Amino acid sequence: MRVFTVNIFLLGIGIWDLIRMICEIYLVWPTISAMYIRNSDIPGECLGPDYYLTLVAFLFCVPTRTMAVQMSVWYGVTIALLRALVMRNPMNLRISSLAESKNGIRVLLIITFLYSPFWIIGYFQNYIDEFEVWIPPPYCSNLVENYTRMEYIIKDIKIFGLKEEDIYQKSLVARGILCELIPCILLPIFTFLLIFELQKARKSAMGNSTIDRDRSTKLVIGITVTFLISYGPLAICHLVEFYFFEHDKLVFVTRRLSLFFKLLTILNGIFHFLFCFFMSYAYRKTAKELLRIKEKTQINLVNVSSINK
């Protein structure tokens, strides 16, 4: 598989990792701010409600964070599949064409387009409405006199007479199957095929250096194991929550477990970046390019005039 195609998918993973990190920081920022406010002299009731744009950003970050996770997973699955196919059928022109950068971009865009309906459902399941005019208490010294602000509230929408909860539950089980359960099945299979082809390439002295092949194998195995540990149980929790939605106690326990496994997905995202960064030169290079960090290169000066003599 050509380096350019690998870089395209790794660049896509790096971009989604960056988007996810920004969304995670934004969503956890209110908790950090609340901890800071407790230690300040400003009363909590003098802070006022959230601004409209703050709520818009919140509604945007929640589904975007989820999409960033799923895109990184499916890009990883696609890398393993394409590499295994190309190494298994090096003389097949149709399969080898998948390794071309332009075709890699097409596959990447198709995957992103197929997941976009889940983001749309996640984003439009709520809307922001005006609630009341907020008037601060008279003892709020941090605000000017006669200060007021509109208070907004997030509400669920209704589509075709049905509550958004029904649509959310259906999208939840679809997302659990398509974006978590299926990758948990496909990724180990494609990883096994890739490792098998790497072993065949080693025996036949094909491919790059032994170090590169070993690192590629360890990289794919590491991503697969961490993904199965974090996303496998989360997919099961989503399915249980859907099929046993009427059992309140079971749903309560399932949602608490989901919070724990979502924490594992966050740790997996951090580990995923670090693991790829140190194990893959291509990922390290694209990550530095994404962050606009230029590597120091040694420039050998050549006397052109001496060559012409």
pLDDT digits (tens, 9 = 90+) for 1-40: 445 566 777 778 778 877 887 887 888 777 777 667 666 6
101-130 mean pLDDT = 83
Which residue range(s) make up the domain with 103?
3-43+58-125+171-293
- Residue 53 lies inside a defined structural domain of this protein: no
Tell me what pLDDT residue 309 has.
45
- Residue 231 lies inside a defined structural domain of this protein: yes
pLDDT digits (tens, 9 = 90+) for 76-86: 778 777 777 77
**Can you tell me whether residue 151 is helix, strand or coil?**
strand
Q: Which pLDDT band, with edges at 50, 70 and 90, does 306 fall under? A: very low
Q: Please give the backbone phi and psi of residue 128, each rounded to the nearest 5 degrees, phi first.
A: -105, 130
Q: Is the confidence at residue 212, as pLDDT, over 60? A: no
- Angle (CA) 51 56 58, round 5°: 95
Q: Which pLDDT band, with edges at 50, 70 and 90, does 60 fall under? A: very high
196-222 mean pLDDT = 57
Tell me what pLDDT residue 101 has.
61
What is the value of pTM for the model shown?
Answer: 0.67
Tell me what pLDDT residue 240 has.
78
Task: Report DSSP state, residue 97.
Answer: G
Q: Please give the backbone phi and psi of residue 185, each rounded to the nearest 5 degrees, phi first.
A: -90, -45
- Residue 166 lies inside a defined structural domain of this protein: no
- Lowest mean pLDDT: which of 157-171, 206-220, 284-298? 206-220
**Burial (Cβ within 10 Å: 0-12, 13-18, ≥19) of residue 40:** exposed
Q: What is the spatial distance between Cα 111 and Cα 9, in angstroms, rounded to a whole number?
A: 11
Q: What is the spatial distance between Cα 130 and Cα 299, in angstroms, rounded to a whole number?
A: 62
Q: Which pLDDT band, with edges at 50, 70 and 90, does 134 fall under? A: confident
| Structural domain count, the chain | 1
pLDDT digits (tens, 9 = 90+) for 224-245: 676 777 777 777 776 777 677 6
- Residue 12 lies inside a defined structural domain of this protein: yes
Q: What CATH number does the domain containing 195 carry?
A: 1.20.1070.10
Name the residue with higher pLDDT: 71 or 28: 71
Q: What is the spatial distance between Cα 280 and Cα 212, in angstroms, rounded to a whole number?
A: 9
- Residue 146 lies inside a defined structural domain of this protein: no
Average confidence score pLDDT of the chain: 72
pLDDT digits (tens, 9 = 90+) for 148-168: 888 899 887 766 445 555 666
Tell me what pLDDT residue 219 has.
59
- Residue 26 lies inside a defined structural domain of this protein: yes
In single-letter form, the type of residue at position 48 comes to G
- Residue 71 lies inside a defined structural domain of this protein: yes
- Residue 140 lies inside a defined structural domain of this protein: no
**Cα–Cα distances in angstroms (integers) from residue 135 to residues 138, 145, 208, in the given order:** 9, 11, 68
Q: What is the spatial distance between Cα 33 and Cα 52, in angstroms, rounded to a whole number?
A: 18
**Burial (Cβ within 10 Å: 0-12, 13-18, ≥19) of residue 297:** exposed
187-209 mean pLDDT = 66
